[in-house]
Structure 1
Amino acid sequence: MGAAGRGPGASLKYILRAGIFCIAITGAWIAPSGQVAAQQIPVNSVSIEGNARIGDAAILSRAGIVPGQPISAGALNAGVQNLVDSGLFESVDITPRGNGLTITVVEYPTINRINFEGNRRINDDVLAAAINSNERRVFNPAQAERDATLIAEAYSSEGRLAARVTPTIIRRSDNRVDLIFEIFEGDNIEIERLSFTGNRVFSDRRLRRVLETKQAGLFRAFVRSDTLVADRIEFDRQVLRDFYLSRGYVDFRTNSVNAELTEERDAYFLVFDVQEGQQFRMGEITVTSELPQVDGEVYRDAVDTRPGAVYSPTLIEADIARMERQAIIDGVDFLRVEPRITRDERNLTINVEYVLSRGPRVFVERIDIEGNTTTLDQVIRRQFRSVEGDPFNPREIRESAERIRALGFFSNAEVNAREGSSPDRVIVDVDVEEQPTGSLSFGASFSTNDGLGFAIQFRERNFLGRGQELGLTLSTASDDRLYRLNFFEPAFLGRDVGFGLRLDIAESTSSTVTYDTDRGIFSPSLRFPIGANSRLDVNYTYEDAEMKDRGDDSDNGPIIGREILEGSRVNSSIGYKYTYDSRTTGIDPTSGYLFEFGQDFAGIGGDNTFVRTSAKVVGERKVFNEDVTLRATLEGGALNFSGGVNRAVDRFLLNSDIIRGFESGGIGPRDLSVTDEDPLGGNLFLAARFEAEFPVGLPEEYGITGGVFYDIGNLWDLSDVNLSGGNVVGESGSFRHVIGVSVLWDTPVGPLRFNFSDAIRKEEFDREQTFEITINTTF
């Protein structure tokens, strides 16, 4: 294509002849300088030439010219400028002819096609959505230049700061052009090193985990957050402040963020200059009431924060929320809790006085929701604890906004309050932007116990826009196959109660036992929230389980053989599980714990009658400035049979999730009367796991950390089991002790964990496993 056809020269510049007014000012229209502005130019007739799309009337209207009426030189100048500024004309020429004017225009062409050339990293559809020029619209060179800037910004957000975009045109017939954006993408400029100065308490490694911006590592082809993006840096400044503030460093600030190109100009060194300040703790906490009918001591009892705790704004917010709930119980409307904070610099404490007063009498007039094209209004409305007519509580509105964002249904959610129909009425505006909520995942897993497996999972978190979750899973490993349907309704019958449904079909041919298992499960459940961190699940479970002879060289002993002959048996049970979990939602960001306790009562129909009890306690704390994570777990279970047949598929069978260092079913009672030594499981088990995870000194971009662990476990008791004909060992049980080290490798395809273990106390009949590798991911 020749240069004349595609050059951006004359086609991308305004052409305005300078002689327009030279003619007007010379000749018959010359006047003294003081009279130029008042000189009237006769316009008896107007002739317009060159226009094809824009009508004569539209041109005259924009120019402000009325045939038959004189016009001043200044007004004519303004009219010409208006025509130029309209963006419709490539050139404008006004020539006087006698007592008339001739207006000659050259219209900008229309855009026939828009093409992108040279783009490989960002596809055409994304770029087309970023620009404002459109096909079959008038071509505007200034807009084309602005669009080129928008495209360059799109590449900049991807870390390609050297991207260049040049708009060019190819002229076609009928005053049409093809608009082409020639793109040079450039290389992706990564962040080679992300470091901090001024930090004394927390290491660079710990602070890097806080930021959304990441340092380039081994697998940078899979990473999108190791490039320099200005908006991301600003977000990181805020999350860094939140991190320190939640840990009591009230004077923390980021002095500057410096980005310096490497000598090769292919990467950045990014440095955060921070000032930590001193850590403050909670000092004296008091409650003062300015309302005669409100007893401050009652509300002091609602304060959960204690002196000596590390200061955090979250503590203050939690105390205010508890006092406001107490006000609702007491029937006190419009209670305002104002925290008055004073600093004790000598003792490094924050004294807090909660002042109870009467807030303004303002009510919620209505809640307006916009932008939800898929999600139903009711899904958003139920995130509000306030409804129309309730007293207005600004803190509650902020919390409602956080709950809406936490749904994960929207890319953006803004909640604002404005004055309603009167000063004592407030309208709450909710503006959301929908985002995709469905996913189709392909997964892979590997373990030394179950071998290599694959999984396909469909998940929709906002089914039919009702906020419901629907999941379908197909999982297969060398020894196990699972087909699962999950459904969860978070607001059953419009109440703050969740309804769940689980359907499972599972087949197991595990090599650690001498029989195959077919299992079908139907389990509806209800979930009741009890507190901010706790819930109660109530369920009914119908389970049809069958033990089957494998039909190969596996040798079943008399105990397992009798249980296989029982065929398919049904367990019909109701159960509950109480859960308290403060690890992710607790106030203390450095520690938390999980407590679970549940029971299943079988005998509501079915073939067996039993009570199965399980409990778990997990405690976790980050120490050494949060570089090391300590974790302790205590777990146990008990099965009490009172009717039916107690089979191995009903009893507990421990795997590496309970105690490491052994095969699945590797500890516990075992029948030695046959070569394969059938694992029988047990009615009781107890296990404790202690572990620590820590950096190993390798560069953080490798994603490798280390760990040590110490596990103790015991599985025993075969009460109500027919043991005749067998040679059973381990029925009374004994505690096994295992020590080991772990290597954890965080890879883009999933977290790899290598466990090297040694059972320092075990039984002769146990089946030890000194090495285990696991990976589990979706992609």
Structure 2
Amino acid sequence: MQSNHRAAPFGPAVQGRLRVILASWIFVFSLLFTAFGTAADAQTYSFSSVTVAGNQRVDSGTILSYAAIPRGQPVSAAQLNSAYQRINESGLFESVALEPSGSTLRITVVEFPTVNRITFEGNRRVDDETLANTIGSRSRYVYSANQAEADAQAIAEAYSQTGRVAARVTPKVIRRGNGRVDLVFEIFEGDIVELERVSFVGNKAFSDSRLRRVVESKQAGFLRQIIQRDTYSEDRIAFDRQVLRDFYLSRGYVDFRINSVQAQLARERDGYFLTFNLVEGQRFRFGNITTSSEVPEADAQAFQDVIRVRSGAYFSPTDVENTIARMERLAIQQGLDFLRVEPEISRNDRALTLDVNFKLTRGPRVFVERIDIEGNTTTLDSVIRRQFDVAEGDPFNPREIRESAERIRALGYFGNADVQAREGSTPQQVVVDVDVDEAPTGSLSFGGTYSTSSGIGLVANFKETNFLGRGQTVNLSFSGASESRVYQAGFIEPAFLGRDVAFSLNLGYYETDNANSEYDTQNANFETGLTFPLSEQSTFKAKYLLNWTDMQIDSSVAGGIVTAEAARGGLFTSAVGYEFTYDSRLTGLNPNAGVLLSFGQDVAGVGGDATYVKSSARAIAQTKVWNEEVTLRATVQGGAISTFSDYDTRVTDRYLLSNRVLRGFKPDGLGPREIDNATNGGTTSDALGGKFFAAAQFEAEFPLGLPEEYGIRGGVFYDVGTVWGIDGATNVAAGNSVVQNDPDLRHVVGLSIFWDTPIGPLRFNFSHALKKETYDEVQEFDLTISTRF
């Protein structure tokens, strides 16, 4: 039988001897620890005086206050060590020593030196001034090793934000004597680490190329030396996350989220691969849209009538916010203070709809106590205050404060504008704090222009958008090409007499010296007007115009009509007019479509020589189709001049179509002309212009399959239009006749190449006229570029 107990490794005798030995060692160690502890406790000092040496800038009393050593009392070694630590951790000294000598304690310090000069070496991409604003160390201040290391890290981070993640910065000190040092930051900038690829995972509704046009981060392309958004930046990626979310939410993807953003550095550390991991979710439409009221004075039906969103449209938080704004404005008009509109959203996953009920409730009685503005050294307080729809004492509305903050930022006067509301002197009052950081608002530029129609020209422009801090715009410009010169001056007061009315004043002088025409012109122009907002998307402008025009001709070649019109000399035109504009492209409810409508008339005859009514209308529509990859545009416009009091129009009054209105033809390349029938084939003069014109443009813009970072897209277009009708038919020279005095449409088709370059957008048009006349002047290629440098 086996035993269940193991045999002991040692016998009883051996075990007894081991216990005796172990107890002996424990006793010995106890005696030693007791002796050492007694010796340590016995190491005490007593100082009748404490002296300080080595300090030059720091007062001795300050050092003694850090040490806190009592006089004539026992001081342990631990207390001396604590005193040393307090002095050392003050950050004022390079080294500290405490030396007990009898009843005297001597504290010897070596102060940090003073920074004599700060220099940067090795920086070519970032200038010294920018780097100096990045660091905390300053000349004539005490040198701190910790601060120098922090500055080196800040400089490296600044380079990292520009894509140079491999940048290294080493702070070094050069001692100059007399407690002074030079602080040198040695910088190795490294190469730019670009975004080699920006991709998306999980996107089904929109392609990678469409989403790349949404985000600010761009892939590096052949313009990598110019484009500055193809480098890795955490701040830019954080912004991209927000704009992607806004993009999807505004299109009905209410469950959209970004799971992660991965930035993978290539093995060679010369490029990043940026990947956005998305979850699009289902796309929802508006379901039933209703209004309910818990406020007896608020009629739900009246508020229901101001809703512009309709069932079946794709859901957008912007539409809901715009509806709330309309309802709150209606409440103000009806005198219903503190009315709040709370949207209640019910989700129907089966039908993929969201029912919205706008509930009218009574909000808390909170008033605006005051509006405090800080940071504006140039801009007047009144310019900022007029961006608020509320004043001191008005009911507080958080949405109105948010909208006011956006209007302040949209002014363009400030680099940063922070608007916050806080509790005032009582819980029923709030104080609105506005903190702004002003930015430059003036510009002086010199540049050049080029187009196939007017050739090479020079441009000089001065513009100030916040003149004298009053929010006024002043503009002076000059442009001159081989055949024309333009001098212009303009002024805009956006709040005329403190009202929401814009006052404008424009002066201009124009000269044409057309080498290919039979006449030159001089034109002086004065225009002033008031622009009134009619709604969120429409404006009405009332204006007055005064114009002087003169013509000079070469009588040896000019036709009879032009000769007779030039013989009338300089003429004055005095006119009053108006213009109505409706524009939903920026504030409309559909993020993919927009409409611009305008109609205006000028009535000449308020004094002056000319008597006519000039009417013009224009309609532009745009939408995006095929998952927003293709943009469709349509433009229809026309004009008519009706004369009275036996006034005959001149070529300077009539419509002359440019190649931007009807592509495929040179400027003034079609329309009524006077033809010399005696010449073989008929020699034509310049276009005479027409009293009527009509034109329509239809075009589509689409991707070409090239990398998005190249900024190159394609397009096709179809234009149709004409200009006709003149006065002065009795002035036709003998043997001549006038053509195109009746509406006869021209048709043009073409291809376009759009190229977004750092120097501006280029457009190449290749046109072919399907229908034209022999006397028309066609233009099969057109390129326009405008840039300033």
**One fold, TM greater than 0.5?**
yes
| Contact 2:673-2:684 within 8 A present in 1 as well | no
What secondary structure is seen at the aligned counterpart in 2 of 1:186?
Answer: coil
CA offset digits 1:269-291 (Å, max 9, x no partner): 11111111111000011111111
Question: Aligned-pair distance for 1:72?
Answer: 4.4
2: CA distance, partners of 1:125 / 1:676: 64
**Contact in 2 for aligned 1:547/1:567 (Cα 8 Å):** yes
The range that moved more, 240-249 or 314-323, is 314-323
- Structure 1 residue 727 and structure 2 residue 749: aligned? no
* Alignment of 1:635 onto 2:643: no
- Picking from 655, 658, 683, the partner of 1:655 is 658
- 1:703 paired with 2:747, answer no
Which residue in 1 is equivalent to 2:13? none
Displacement after TM superposition at 1:743 (Å): 1.0
> What is the rounded CA distance, in whole Å, between the counterparts of 1:727 and 1:701 in structure 2?
55
Distance 1:625 1:38 in 2: 86
What residue is the counterpart of 1:467 in the other structure? 471
Name the amino acid aligned to 2:218.
Answer: K
Q: Where does residue 14 of structure 1 map in the other structure?
A: none
CA contact (8 A) 1:661 1:757 kept: yes
Three-state SS of the structure 2 residue aligned to 1:653 is coil
Query: Which consecutive unaligned segments of at least 5 residues does structure 1 have?
Result: 1-29
> How far off its partner does 1:295 sit?
1.6
1:429-444 → structure 2 map (5 Å cutoff): 429-444=433-448
| 1:602 aligned onto 2:608 | no
- Pick aligned residue for 2:616 from 614, 621, 625: 614
Q: Specify the SS of the correspondent of 2:613.
A: strand
Quick one: which of 731, 743, 753 aligns to 1:743? 753
Report the alpha carbon displacement of residue 566 of structure 1 after superposing the two structures with TM.
Answer: 1.8
Give the secondary-structure state (helix, strand or coil) at the position aligned to 2:731: coil
Deviation readout 1:585-635 (Å, 9 max, x if unpaired): 212110001001011111111111111111000000011111110000100
Cα distance in 2 for partners of 1:508, 1:78 equals: 88
Distance 1:542 1:675 in 2: 36
Q: Secondary structure at the match of 1:672?
A: strand
Alignment correspondent of 1:669: 672
Q: Report how far residue 70 of structure 1 moved.
A: 4.9
> Could you tell me how far 1:645 is from its partner in structure 2?
4.2
Name 1:9's counterpart in structure 2: none
Q: Deviations over 1:524-573 (max 9, x none)?
A: 1111111111111111111111112258xx82111101112222111111
Give the CA deviation at 1:73.
Answer: 3.8
User: Residue 55 of structure 1: CA displacement?
Assistant: 2.0
Residue 20 of structure 1 aligns with which residue? none
Whole-angstrom distance in 2 between the partners of 1:710 and 1:607 = 40
2:778 maps to amino acid: E
- Aligned-partner residue type, residue 248 of structure 2: Y
Shift of 1:37: 8.0
CA shift for structure 1 position 78: 2.7
Please state how far the C-alpha of 1:705 moved relative to its aligned partner. 0.8
CA distance in 2, matches of 1:721, 1:220: 60
**1:460 positional shift:** 1.3
Within 5 Å, which residues of 2 pair with 1:104-183?
A: 104-183=108-187
- Select the residue among 82, 87, 93 that pairs with 1:83: 87
Q: 2 CA distance for matches of 1:107 and 1:568?
A: 85
Q: Secondary structure at the match of 2:434?
A: strand
Q: Distance in 1 between the 2:418 and 2:360 partners?
A: 29
Q: Which of residues 338, 343, 349 in structure 1 aligns to 2:347? A: 343
Which residue matches 1:293?
297
- State the AA in 2 paired with 1:741: L
Q: Report the count of equivalent residues.
A: 748
Alignment partners' CA distance in 1, 2:582 and 2:103: 92
With over 3 angstroms needed to count, the CA separation of the structure-2 counterparts of 1:108 and 1:335, relative to structure 1, is: same
Is the 8 Å Cα contact of residues 250 and 315 (structure 2) preserved in structure 1? Answer: yes
Matches within 5 A, 1:318-333: 318-333=322-337
More displaced stretch, 268-277 vs 629-638: 268-277
Q: 1:49 to 1:544 in 2, by over 3 A?
A: same
Residues 670 and 679 of structure 1 are in contact (CA less than 8 Å); yes or no, is this contact kept in structure 2? yes
Q: Which residue of 2 aligns with 1:234?
A: 238
Q: What is the CA distance between 1:161 and its match in structure 2?
A: 0.4
CA distance in 2, matches of 1:508, 1:453: 13
Residue 492 of structure 1: how far off its partner (Å): 0.8
- 1:545 to 1:55, Cα distance in 2 relative to 1, 3 A: same
Could you say what secondary structure the match of 1:383 adopts?
coil
**C-alpha distance in structure 2 between counterparts of 1:298 and 1:75, whole Å:** 80
Per mean C-alpha deviation after superposition, the further-off stretch among 206-215 and 53-62 is 53-62
SS at match of 1:526: strand
Deviation at 1:34, TM superposition (A): 7.9
1:352 Cα shift?
0.4
Q: Which amino acid aligns with 2:779?
A: Q
| Change in CA separation of 1:37 and 1:153 when aligned onto 2, cut-off 3 Å | farther
- Tell me the C-alpha RMSD between the 2 structures: 1.8
TM-score (norm 2): 0.92
Which letter maps to 1:323?
Answer: M
**Match for 1:406 among 410, 426, 434?**
410
- Is the counterpart of residue 566 in structure 1 residue 568 in structure 2? yes
For 2:709, give the aligned amino acid.
Answer: E
The one-letter amino acid paired with 1:672 is I
Higher mean displacement: 527-536 or 258-267:
258-267
**What per-residue deviation string (whole Å, max 9, x for no partner) do you get for residues 294-330 of structure 1?**
2211111111111001100011011111111111121
Query: Based on CA coordinates, which of the two structures has the bigger radius of gyration?
Result: 2
Whether contact under 8 Å (1:750, 1:778) holds in the other structure is no
User: C-alpha displacement at 1:512, in angstroms?
Assistant: 5.2
Pick the aligned partner of 1:277 from 276, 281, 293.
281
The correspondence for 1:426, drawn from 417, 430, 451, is 430
Q: Distance in 2 between matches of 1:180 and 1:31?
A: 54
Rounded Cα–Cα distance in structure 2 between residues aligned with 1:353 and 1:36: 80
Indicate yes or no: 2:389 matched with 1:385.
Answer: yes
User: Does the aligned pair in 2 maintain the 1:628–1:692 contact within 8 Å?
Assistant: yes
Task: State the alpha-carbon separation in 2 of the partners of residues 524 and 401 from structure 1.
Answer: 31
- Report how far residue 722 of structure 1 moved: 4.5
CA contact (8 A) 1:538 1:577 kept: yes
CA distance in 1, matches of 2:39, 2:287: 81
Distance in 1, Cα, partners of 2:301 & 2:743:
54
Write the letter of the residue equivalent to 2:589: I
- Distance in 1 between residues matched to 2:48 and 2:74, nearest whole Å: 8
Q: 1:514 aligns with which of 515, 518, 529?
A: 518
Gaps spanning 5+ residues in structure 2: where?
Answer: 1-33, 677-681
Alignment-derived partner of residue 67 in structure 2: 63
Percentage identity across aligned positions?
56
Segment drifting more, 669-678 vs 502-511: 669-678
Bigger drift between 434-443 and 96-105 goes to: 434-443
Please state whether the residue corresponding to 1:538 is helix, strand or coil.
strand
1:190–1:226 contact (8 Å) kept in structure 2: yes
Does structure 1 residue 485 correspond to structure 2 residue 493? no
Tell me how far apart the structure 2 counterparts of residues 52 and 690 of structure 1 sit (CA, whole Å): 82
CA distance in 2, matches of 1:331, 1:511: 66
